[in-house]
Amino acid sequence: MINNEVTKLLNMTYPVIQAPMAGGVTTSELVAAVADNGGLGMMGAGYMTSSQIREQIREIQQLTEGPFGINLFVPNEFHVSEQEVELASNRLQPIREQLDLQQKEQVDIPNFDKVSESFQQQIEVVIEEKIPFCSFTFGIPSKEIIEELKQHHIILIGTATTVKEAVENEKAGMDMVVVQGCEAGGHRGNFLSGDQESLIGLMALIPQVVDNVSIPVIAAGGIMDGRGLMAALCLGAQCVQMGTAFLNCEESGAHASHKEAILHAAEDETVLTRSFSGKWARGLKNDYINEMHEDESLFPAFPVQNKLSQDIRKAAAAQNKTAFMSLWSGQSPRLAKKQCVESLMEHIISETRKIGRKV
């Protein structure tokens, strides 16, 4: 089960993908270390400009000859009024004051056309730089984009949180699909199913998806070791994608205090919030989430709220105040270890072999 269609297609030794975590976590060192240790490194490029993407690709290629891919955010149409932005900005003001931030200067509010244009530019770089694997979150790209990528023999990986979403990914031509359970840290990838309805545990989700699609399934959510990998394979997945486990590795770009917070957290200390970005995401509870909780439904849609809270997250990081950072984490923080990628991968594989002998 360890060597299968997916490991062959993605050129991996082991069926382990490092989840693309946007916002600086997936450093070139992290992506390269994963590639060098038998897994697939993924650039979390959702927030990057095309030139930043090009630069990081070059950097990774300097570090490794191993396989790596890239993840992009499919733009979702959004409409945000000036009034909504002002309301949200006022609501964030007490947090700014706690961080000694000045009244927020005028922020360049993104609009859908700009976001779509930037996505198109990201796609062009992927093609020009011959990135062999491209995954998508928040939806399925247009027919035209899918065709263009396929003409360049790029393997396409969709994201789904329900059977319905997985089926749509297959219909659209995705070569495989990441199935995100409710356990997953960071942003929820649902795009057809409701926010509540799409919170399905992997134990239930994987077999139901596997029974309803013919493309390979990659399991994501709460998996951090060989036990999770073996369980996912038994359920019918061919590969796992792990976020929090890699976020906590020495090579990742996550804030040291973010890593430390995960190391001290319990499984019942994560929560879903849309206060950081306007999209629901799972992270460790902190003052920011608690203080914004009551009004989180008022915040504007992604990526506008993300832009509005940017100065707060930046200042919180600079001042080392975890109370106001976005401490993304899946539901297995107790399994996190302070280690390098090599040790994490070795650990997973030896544990997998041990379980294999017992089965």
Give residues in contact with a copy of itself (CB under 8 A). 1, 162-164, 181-183, 193-194, 196-208, 211-212, 219, 221-225, 227-228, 230-236, 266-269, 271, 330-332, 334-335, 355-356, 358-359
Pairing of strands 270-273, 281-284: antiparallel
To the nearest whole angstrom, how small is the minimum distance from the Cβ of residue 5 to a copy of itself? 14
To the nearest whole angstrom, how small is the minimum distance from the Cβ of residue 69 to a copy of itself? 23
Using the minimum distance from each CB to a copy of itself, give the nearer residue, 227 or 307: 227
To the nearest whole angstrom, how small is the minimum distance from the Cβ of residue 99 to a copy of itself? 27
To the nearest whole angstrom, how small is the minimum distance from the Cβ of residue 202 to a copy of itself? 4
To the nearest whole angstrom, how small is the minimum distance from the Cβ of residue 209 to a copy of itself? 9
Q: What is the 3-state secondary structure (H, E, C) of the chain?
A: CCCCHHHHHCCCCCCEEECCCCCCCCCHHHHHHHHHCCCEEEEECCCCCHHHHHHHHHHHHHHCCCCEEEEEECCCCCCCCHHHHHHHHHHHHHHHHHCCCCCCCCCCCCCHHHHHHHHHHHHHHHHHCCCCEEEEECCCCCHHHHHHHHHCCCEEEEEECCHHHHHHHHHCCCCEEEEECCCCCEECCCCCCCCCCCCCCHHHHHHHHHCCCCCCEEEECCCCCHHHHHHHHHHCCCEEEECHHHHCECCCCCCHHHHHHHHCCCHHHEEEECCCCCCCEEEECCHHHHHHHHHHHHCCCCCHHHHHCHHHHHHHHHCCCHHHCCCECCCCHHHCCCECHHHHHHHHHHHHHHHHHHC
Using the minimum distance from each CB to a copy of itself, give the nearer residue, 208 or 339: 208
Using the minimum distance from each CB to a copy of itself, give the nearer residue, 203 or 318: 203
To the nearest whole angstrom, how small is the minimum distance from the Cβ of residue 335 to a copy of itself? 6
To the nearest whole angstrom, how small is the minimum distance from the Cβ of residue 165 to a copy of itself? 9
Using the minimum distance from each CB to a copy of itself, give the nearer residue, 255 or 282: 282
Using the minimum distance from each CB to a copy of itself, give the nearer residue, 99 or 192: 192
Using the minimum distance from each CB to a copy of itself, give the nearer residue, 68 or 191: 191
Using the minimum distance from each CB to a copy of itself, give the nearer residue, 173 or 236: 236
